[in-house]
Amino acid sequence: MSLEASVSSSRRYLPEMTQAGLTPTSPVTAIDEYQRVREMHVADERPLTIYVDSYEIVTLMTIGSHPELLALGYLKNQGLIQDLKEIKAVQVDWEVAAVAVSTFTNRDDWKERLGPRIVTTGCGQGTVYGDIMERLDELKLEPQTLKQSDVYALLKNLNAHNDVYKSAGAVHGCALCQGTEVLIFVEDVGRHNAVDAIAGRMWLEGIEGGDKLFYTTGRLTSEMIIKIACMGIPALLSRSGITRMGFNLAKDLNVMMFSRAKGKHFLVYTGAEHLQYDVELPAREN
Amino acid sequence: MSLEASVSSSRRYLPEMTQAGLTPTSPVTAIDEYQRVREMHVADERPLTIYVDSYEIVTLMTIGSHPELLALGYLKNQGLIQDLKEIKAVQVDWEVAAVAVSTFTNRDDWKERLGPRIVTTGCGQGTVYGDIMERLDELKLEPQTLKQSDVYALLKNLNAHNDVYKSAGAVHGCALCQGTEVLIFVEDVGRHNAVDAIAGRMWLEGIEGGDKLFYTTGRLTSEMIIKIACMGIPALLSRSGITRMGFNLAKDLNVMMFSRAKGKHFLVYTGAEHLQYDVELPAREN
């Protein structure tokens, strides 16, 4: 798998970490329109409070399958910790619904920054600390040339990956991709959690974003573009739609952006000049 | 319209309010898979920071069509202000992307409660202050009997209402319904914003939830159930799926909950005993 090949994990610093991922779905009974009893599966949703040393940072609502990566990626994407070597350990304890991130650094300056207590849920996530918008000014993304045929091959490969969605729905899937290949696929009840878990793994394994693509089943809103840009990824595909602010940000940050990418269909909103049309499609109907 | 009939607005206290709703979509150009230039519409997404007197409460990402109702409903649903009469005015100024809620009450106790500064985005929303879970203990919801035929008639009536979704996608719709009728329909880029805007209008007009149904195109996660229950609405329909925690909460709070409600299909997860099956469906295929 090309992911392993691109990572020289033996030389990298790794914090101590639990492996406390939980099963993402559980069975439940419903009654349908025929009055039939149906055995369904639903996605789990669990609160997980992130602590960094003595600071309570945030409570995320998560499916719980990648709690350590989620915590790491959250801290990275929020700009709260920049260097992995600052982190001593990431320890999840579901009995208290918490992940304790312990560090080597003194964080006296956080008291003012974080406030006494912030509890967040929302679509699984929502609080943005710090000055992310300022970090964006330093970003220079450079989309690579994409072939239409490769986009189609990638979309086809992505179909194999949305396990939870197929069985239970109520989740969004996100993927880190390279060429036509899916490197990492994560599903979560909060679409931002899925992005953060991928950011956590990229951070842990030293994976660069510059030659990658990001795929999401969710909508491309402003925060999505900001996160993907902070992860250094210059191309973004969504099965869903975009917002005006997402469009404006993608344009400003030089992110190539596809929406409604499904089967043979897509709409390129930004960066169309990097797309090579190399597929002969059947004559269009309208 | 039954909404007007159920409200005796002339006797109610109303804060001073701007009417600063903005157009929800704007045009943008995309290139499709046939290399055609397509004139599309996208949903707008705008930051709106809520201030209560001198306190900065939260920044929501919203489509901007109902900013006053959104601010009111947010404050009500978060339990930050309980009595409408405390509110003197709700004034939106898009030039500074802010809504100023001025009150008659001294809020010295908020300093500790809110912390110095919290900026939220996420799926348009996400911070929960206060002790909402404690408020839930006092709730006793009583689902009314629903007829399958009325559920179908309501779903049909709902089809006329999702204007933004039809033209631009990237939004969720929420509706307050009574019987087969849609009383209020709101779309927003954040599904919680749409719920809050409806809560704001219910608060303003003194509309009770007990004899209503709530419909959403979005998923039924824990926070959704909590908000709808706090609004006193005992029946909930979603076009999407549910999470385990949403299911558990609906069960505990005695909320009747339908998922995958679309056309003739639905799944009743809780409160099926309140549903009267009065429709002869064509023989099922599987």
Distance from CA of B7 to the nearest CA of A (A): 31
The total number of structural domains in chain B stands at 2
Residue B141 belongs to some domain of the structure: no
Residue A64 class from Cβ within 10 Å (0-12 exposed, 13-18 middle, 19+ buried)? buried
Mean pLDDT over residues B102-106, rounded?
Answer: 91
Average pLDDT value for residue range A219-236: 92
Confidence of residue B212 (pLDDT cuts 50, 70, 90): very high
Q: Residue A68 sits in a domain of what CATH number?
A: 3.10.20.10
Nearest CA in chain A to B43: A243
Write out pLDDT tens, residues A108-126.
777 666 654 333 333 333 4
Residues from chain A contacting residue B44 (CB–CB below 8 Å):
243-245
The enclosing domain of B244 has a CATH number of 3.40.140.10
pLDDT at residue B151 greater than cutoff 90: yes
| Mutation to test the A interface, candidates B42, B236, B268, most A Cβ within 10 Å | B42
B137 occurs within a structural domain: no
Residues A101 and A185 in one domain: no
Q: How far is CA B211 from the centre of its chain?
A: 17
Flag whether pLDDT at A133 surpasses 80. Answer: no
Task: Flag whether pLDDT at A46 surpasses 50.
Answer: yes
Domain end: A97, A131, A165, which one? A131
Q: Could you read off the pLDDT of A182-213 as tens digits, one per residue?
A: 999 999 988 889 999 999 999 999 999 999 99
Look at residues B131, B159, B192 and tell me which one is the last residue of a structural domain: B131
Question: Taking the model in full, what pTM does it have?
Answer: 0.88
Structure confidence at residue B132 as a pLDDT band (50, 70, 90): low
pLDDT per position as a tens digit, A90-112 = 999 999 999 999 999 888 777 66
Region B202-227: mean pLDDT is 93
Confidence (pLDDT) at B10: 56
Is A209 in the same domain as A251? yes
Substitution target in A34, A45, A258 with the highest count of B β-carbons within 10 Å is A45
Residues B257 and B216 in one domain: yes
Evaluate if residue B125 carries a pLDDT over 70. Answer: no
In b/e form, how buried is each residue of B63-96, taking b as 16+ CB within 10 angstroms?
bbbbbbbbbbbbbbbbebbeebeebeebbbeeee
| Residues A155 and A267 reside in one and the same domain | yes
**Residues 6 or more apart whose Cβ sits within 8 Å of residue B51:** B57, B98, B99, B100, B101
- Asked if the structure places residue A196 within a domain, the reply is yes
Q: For residues A50-61, give the mean pLDDT.
A: 86
Residues A49-70: what's their mean pLDDT? 90
Mean pLDDT for the stretch of residues A267-282? 95
Q: Are residues A55 and A6 in the same domain?
A: yes
Task: In whole angstroms, give the CA distance from residue A240 to residue A261.
Answer: 7
Looking at the domain assignment, is residue A228 inside a domain?
yes
Instruction: Indicate whether B140 belongs to any domain.
Output: no
> Stretch B66-91: mean pLDDT, rounded?
94
CA nearest B225 in A: which residue?
A122
Question: Which residue, of A73, A105, A131, is where some domain finishes?
Answer: A131
pLDDT reported for residue B131: 56
Domain of residue B90 covers: 2-30+39-131
Given an 8 Å threshold on Cβ–Cβ distance, is A44 in contact with B148? no
Cα distance between residue B199 and residue B125, in whole Å: 15
